[in-house]
Structure 1
Amino acid sequence: MTSRTLRRRLHHGDVDGKRHEQFETSGLDVLSEPLLGNKEYDDSLSEVRAALWDDERRKEHIHWTLLFSHVIAQWAQWIANIVLGSGSLIGRLLPFPFATQNGQTKNFLPPLLSPLQEARLRNLQQRLQVPFDGSCVEHQDSLRLLWQLAYPDRELPSLKTELWKEMGWQGSDPSTDFRGGGYISLENLIFFAKMYPDAFQNLLHKRDGNRAEWEYPFAVAGINISFMLVQMLDLQSGKPTSLAGIQFLKLLSEDEMAFDNLFCVAFQMMDAQWLAKRASYMEFNDVLKSTRTQLERELALEDTFNVKDLPAYNMLKR
Structure 2
Amino acid sequence: MASATLRRRLHHGDVDGRRYEKYDTTGGSETESLSEPLLGSSCRRDEFSEDRTLEEIWDEEQKRQQVHWTLIFSQLIVQWAQWIANIVFGSGSLVGRFLPLHAFSRVGTGGRLLPSTLSPLQEERLKNLQRRLEVPFDGSRTEHQDALRQLWRLAYPHRELPPLKSELWKEMGWQGTDPSTDFRGGGFISLENLIFFAKTYPESFQRLLHKQDGTRSEWEYPFAVAGINISFMLAQMLDLQSGQPSSVAGIRFLGFLEEEETAFDDLYCLAFQMMDAQWLAKRASYMEFNDVLKSTRTQLELELAIEDISNIRDLPSFTLLGR
Q: Using the alignment, how far apart are the partners of 1:220 and 1:160 within structure 2?
A: 16
Letter in 2 for 1:259: F
- Which residue does the alignment assign to 1:77? none
- Which residue does the alignment assign to 1:221? 226
Q: Using the alignment, how far apart are the partners of 1:289 and 1:93 within structure 2?
A: 26
Deviations 1:239-283 (A, max 9, x none): 000000000001001000000000000000000000111110000
How does 1:195-234 map onto structure 2 within 5 Å? 195-234=200-239
Q: Using the alignment, how far apart are the partners of 1:240 and 1:163 within structure 2?
A: 39
Structure 1 or 2: larger helix share?
Answer: 1
What is the CA-CA distance between 1:110 and the residue it aligns to? 3.3
Q: Give 1:304's match in structure 2, choosing from 302, 309, 314.
A: 309
How does 1:148-297 map onto structure 2 within 5 Å? 148-297=153-302
Secondary structure of the corresponding residue to residue 214 of structure 1: coil
What is the CA-CA distance between 1:314 and the residue it aligns to? 1.1
Q: Give 1:89's match in structure 2, choosing from 74, 86, 89.
A: 86
Q: Using the alignment, how far apart are the partners of 1:317 and 1:264 within structure 2?
A: 10
- Compared with structure 1, are the counterparts of its residues 161 and 247 closer, same or farther at alpha carbon in structure 2 (3 Å cutoff)? same
Secondary structure of the corresponding residue to residue 239 of structure 1: coil
Does 2:128 align with 1:123?
yes
- Compared with structure 1, are the counterparts of its residues 160 and 97 closer, same or farther at alpha carbon in structure 2 (3 Å cutoff)? farther
Deviations 1:138-161 (A, max 9, x none): 000000000000000000000000
Secondary structure of the corresponding residue to residue 296 of structure 1: helix
What is the CA-CA distance between 1:97 and the residue it aligns to? 5.6
- Which residue does the alignment assign to 2:320? 315
- Which residue does the alignment assign to 2:4? none
Q: Using the alignment, how far apart are the partners of 1:186 and 1:153 within structure 2?
A: 21
Length-normalised TM-score, structure 2: 0.68
Q: Using the alignment, how far apart are the partners of 1:302 and 1:189 within structure 2?
A: 29
Q: Using the alignment, how far apart are the partners of 1:293 and 1:183 within structure 2?
A: 25
Structure 1 or 2: larger strand share?
Answer: 2
Secondary structure of the corresponding residue to residue 109 of structure 1: strand
What is the CA-CA distance between 1:111 and the residue it aligns to? 2.8
What is the CA-CA distance between 1:88 and the residue it aligns to? 1.4
Length-normalised TM-score, structure 1: 0.69
- Compared with structure 1, are the counterparts of its residues 280 and 305 closer, same or farther at alpha carbon in structure 2 (3 Å cutoff)? same
- Compared with structure 1, are the counterparts of its residues 178 and 95 closer, same or farther at alpha carbon in structure 2 (3 Å cutoff)? farther
What is the CA-CA distance between 1:312 and the residue it aligns to? 1.1
- Compared with structure 1, are the counterparts of its residues 301 and 115 closer, same or farther at alpha carbon in structure 2 (3 Å cutoff)? same
For the 8 Å contact 1:111–1:246, the answer to whether it is kept is no
- Which residue does the alignment assign to 1:46? none
For the 8 Å contact 1:164–1:173, the answer to whether it is kept is yes
Letter in 2 for 1:178: F
- Compared with structure 1, are the counterparts of its residues 95 and 215 closer, same or farther at alpha carbon in structure 2 (3 Å cutoff)? farther
What is the CA-CA distance between 1:317 and the residue it aligns to? 3.4
Q: Between Structure 1 and Structure 2, how many residues are aligned?
A: 228
Letter in 1 for 2:313: K
Structure with bigger gyration radius: 1
Secondary structure of the corresponding residue to residue 295 of structure 1: helix
Deviations 1:22-63 (A, max 9, x none): xxxxxxxxxxxxxxxxxxxxxxxxxxxxxxxxxxxxxxxxxx
Deviations 1:52-92 (A, max 9, x none): xxxxxxxxxxxxxxxxxxxxxxxxxxxxxxxxx74411789
**Structure 1: gaps spanning 5 or more residues:** 1-84, 99-104
Q: Which runs of 4+ in 1 moved over 4 A?
A: 90-98
For the 8 Å contact 1:145–1:190, the answer to whether it is kept is yes
Q: Using the alignment, how far apart are the partners of 2:230 and 2:279 within structure 1?
A: 13
Q: Percent identity?
A: 72
